[in-house]
């Protein structure tokens, strides 16, 4: 076992599992929700998200497009000097039931 590899855990929000999403899509939405708690949006880089979920940049791009098309997220990108800033927000009108408040 390689002791240099870090183990990452993502708590998948069960409400995302009930929308015919794949496990990877649910994990991505859960990560975005977790990273959005402080500012109301996720600003993590592709590299950070891909590293956390152990997916390729191309897969991330495909997943983000699919989630945006289905109305789960909204993305805003704007130029800031030399680079760009991206904000990913969970769409408040997405059909997501919060099962954490039932009990």
Q: What percent of the chain has pLDDT over 70?
A: 71
- pLDDT of 96 higher than 60: no
pLDDT at 100: 43
In a domain, 27, yes or no: yes
In a domain, 76, yes or no: yes
Instruction: Give the residue-averaged pLDDT of 21-49.
Output: 92
In a domain, 101, yes or no: no
pLDDT digits (tens, 9 = 90+) for 42-84: 999 999 999 999 999 999 999 999 999 999 999 998 888 888 8
In a domain, 42, yes or no: yes
In a domain, 31, yes or no: yes
Number of domains in the chain: 1
pLDDT at 57: 96
Q: 20: pLDDT confidence band, cut at 50, 70 and 90?
A: confident
| pTM as predicted | 0.76
What DSSP string describes 49-68?
A: HHHHHT--HHHHHHHHHHHH
Q: Which of 12, 24, 36, 23 is nearest to 86 (CA)?
A: 36
Q: Which residues span the domain enclosing 81? A: 21-95
Q: 2: pLDDT confidence band, cut at 50, 70 and 90?
A: very low
CA angle 59, 77, 87 (to 5 degrees): 75
CATH assignment of the domain containing 54: 1.10.10.10
CA angle 32, 87, 73 (to 5 degrees): 55
């Amino acid at each position: 076992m390689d002791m240099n590899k870090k183990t990452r855990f993502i708590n998948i929000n069960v409400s995302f599992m009930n929308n015919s999403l794949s496990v990877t899509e649910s994990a991505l939405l859960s990560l975005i929700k977790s990273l959005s708690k402080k500012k109301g949006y996720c600003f993590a880089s592709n590299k950070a998200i891909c590293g956390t979920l152990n997916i390729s940049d191309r897969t991330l791009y495909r997943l983000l497009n699919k989630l945006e098309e289905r109305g789960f997220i909204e993305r805003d990108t704007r130029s800031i000097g030399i680079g760009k800033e991206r904000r990913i927000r969970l769409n408040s009108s997405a059909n997501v039931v919060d099962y954490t408040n039932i009990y």
